[in-house]
Amino acid sequence: MKTLLAAIAILSAGASAALAGPAGDMAKAHIEAIAKGDTAAVTAAYAPSATLHWVGGPLDGTYTGPEIAATWAKFAKAQTGLKANVVNMTESMNPKGATVLADVVFANDNKIPVRYVMLFRDGKLADEIWQIDPALAK
């Protein structure tokens, strides 16, 4: 019986790590705004000193400040009618901030598979990695 209770406790602890908390909710809202092409909502999520690292694809590069808004505007113009499918999402947090890892496939006529890393501090997106990951599209 103790072994069964210990196994349930371990499984429960592992499952709770995958559930979204406040940062997970912010990440989901950010992902949905990207899919909708709502660049105002997308850029409002960022802290003033935020950095966006876009790895792969035609927008590959590192962006800060007004460059972030311009990058998302280019993306929204090029990719309309997207749906976001969050394949997996986990959140880690402590009093200094939260990190959300997500595998997301954005799709319209194309599939854009993304491994996403978002760092939130003080309720704002401080650092973001948008990694094009072809393995997710399979």
In tens, the pLDDT along 106-134 reads 999 999 999 999 999 999 999 999 999 98
Q: What is the pTM of this model?
A: 0.83
Whole-angstrom Cα distance, residue 113 to residue 77?
A: 18
Note the pLDDT of residue 83. 97
pLDDT at 137: 76
Three-state secondary structure call for residue 67: helix
- Is 74 a residue whose pLDDT tops 60? yes
Q: Please tell me the CATH code under which domain 22-136 is placed.
A: 3.10.450.50
State the average pLDDT for the chain: 87
Cα distances (angstroms) measured from residue 5 to each of 12, 42, 120: 10, 43, 35
Share of the chain above pLDDT 70, in %: 86
User: Which run of H or of E encompasses 121?
Assistant: strand 111-121
- Cα 24 to Cα 7, 14, 75, 137, distances in angstroms: 26, 16, 23, 22
